Structure 1
Amino acid sequence: MNDRGAEIWKDIEGYEGLYQVSNMGSVRLLDRTVHREMSVMQISGITLKPGLGKKHGYNYVSLLSKSFTVHRLVACAFLENKDNKPFIDHINAIRTDNRVENLRWCTPAENSNNPISYDRLKKSHIGIKQSDSTISKRVEKLRGRKITKLQRIKIAINQKKTRSVLQIDEKTNEVINTFFSLGEAQRVTGCHRSNISNVCKGKLKTCGGYKWRFSI
């Protein structure tokens, strides 16, 4: 990890002389002089406190009322992008670690194939079944009642393993993102889980402008 004393600052493109970003992931407003009709004001600069996006989990800051993700500001200022790759990957899969050495330009497929993210995916919700106590409660609730065929199907479905879902670019067929479940895909993208599921099952072609499929 870089020594904090070695922090390097660069102007943000389009905001030169007003805002700067550092190789450590900080963003600051510079000291500036404001000329008014009858006076001149000296305004001291400050380091901006980033917000945290509820949907994507990335840090962001507002520059003159326009929002930018911090990792993109860092990458644009410090990382060369010879191949014009559109995405930025957090190498250690921590979305709030915006140090330049933790970032790399990548394609959608490279972003989804980050080995750390993939390992976390395998160890997370995938393969988690309902607990025995939960199943017992459901059985107890139905005890003495006639269970219909539909109810049996629903219980069987609920006991199946959670399946991860792939979000795919409709034109390039590249994987853009991998979600732990239909529920997470719905929360992040705003696409209804039933529609995503129908695309995965071949009943619909797209949802939200994307193709979808269950991960094998």
Structure 2
Amino acid sequence: MFWNQERGFCMTAMKYEEIEIFKDIEFNPYTKARYKVSTFGRVISKKTGEELKPYIRSGYPTVMLHISAIKRKHFPLHRLVAITFLPNPFQFPQVNHKDQDKLNPHLNNLEWCTAKYNINYGDAIYRRIVAMLDHNPEFLCMETGLIYQSQSQAARELGLDQGNISRVLSGKHKSCGGYHFQWLFEFAGKLS
């Protein structure tokens, strides 16, 4: 690693031919003046020179950027890298991860694509089928100890909204109407 005094940021040489390059994020003039993104998927503040810490949102590393003096917006790192470094002459709407790892926003791992291509890329169809076959749909209500075969059954019996039960099971909400739910296979895994 070495420090570039002129630009005020650190560049890392991963391989002899691969150097981390930073460019301004040109979402709008406000972000251009404040942030830079690298080919490795790191975002730094131009003001402080510090790296913004990404968090996981919808399975992707994401950063929060100020887009005006008072507004902030979530930006997935892979999209920032693609928009900044990858030409998109056909105006494809989505960014595909070539290695199928959502946590890898490196420029060499990204490509612009159509939604159809992205959905069917690699072993995505196989993984969805395996997930459906392996997944036991039964889940447990932690308060009552009852096991339910379906979310609609639990919603009817407990007088709750099925969508809210789904959000608890997917981890988006912690509880629904004072009830906590967990997939049975996850609960059994914690016991063993």
CA pair 17-119 structure 1, distance change in 2 beyond 3 A? same
TM-superposed CA distance for 1:188, in Å, is 9.7
Look up the match of 2:52: 48
State the TM-score, normalizing by the size of structure 2.
0.56
CA pair 7-128 structure 1, distance change in 2 beyond 3 A? same
State the TM-score, normalizing by the size of structure 1.
0.50
The answer on whether the counterparts of 2:59 and 2:102 sit within 8 Å (CA) in structure 1 is yes
Look up the match of 1:60: 62
Q: Unaligned 5+ residue runs, structure 2?
A: 1-12, 67-71, 137-148, 150-165, 173-192
State the identity as a percent. Answer: 32
Look up the match of 1:163: none
In the TM superposition, what whole-angstrom CA distance separates every residue of 1:82-113 from its partner, at most 9, and x where no partner exists? 11010111111111100011111111100111
Amino acid of the residue matched to residue 126 of structure 1? M
- Residue aligned with 1:76, SS: helix
CA pair 91-7 structure 1, distance change in 2 beyond 3 A? same
Matching of residue 18 in structure 1 with residue 24 in structure 2: no
Matching of residue 79 in structure 1 with residue 95 in structure 2: no
The answer on whether the counterparts of 1:78 and 1:100 sit within 8 Å (CA) in structure 2 is yes
Q: Unaligned 5+ residue runs, structure 1?
A: 32-43, 131-153, 155-182, 190-216
Larger radius of gyration: 1
CA distance in 1, matches of 2:116, 2:82: 19
In the TM superposition, what whole-angstrom CA distance separates every residue of 1:15-72 from its partner, at most 9, and x where no partner exists? 22310000001001013xxxxxxxxxxxx3210000111xx21111111122111111
CA pair 72-129 structure 1, distance change in 2 beyond 3 A? closer
Q: Please show how residues 44-193 of structure 1 align to structure 2 within 5 Å.
A: 44-53=48-57, 56-64=58-66, 65-122=72-129, 124-128=130-134, 187=170
CA distance in 1, matches of 2:95, 2:45: 24
Amino acid of the residue matched to residue 41 of structure 2? G
CA distance in 2, matches of 1:11, 1:79: 14
CA distance in 2, matches of 1:188, 1:80: 36
Matching of residue 7 in structure 1 with residue 20 in structure 2: yes
Amino acid of the residue matched to residue 51 of structure 2? T
TM-superposed CA distance for 1:120, in Å, is 2.9
CA distance in 1, matches of 2:82, 2:64: 17
The answer on whether the counterparts of 1:92 and 1:116 sit within 8 Å (CA) in structure 2 is no
The answer on whether the counterparts of 2:100 and 2:122 sit within 8 Å (CA) in structure 1 is no
CA distance in 2, matches of 1:119, 1:23: 30
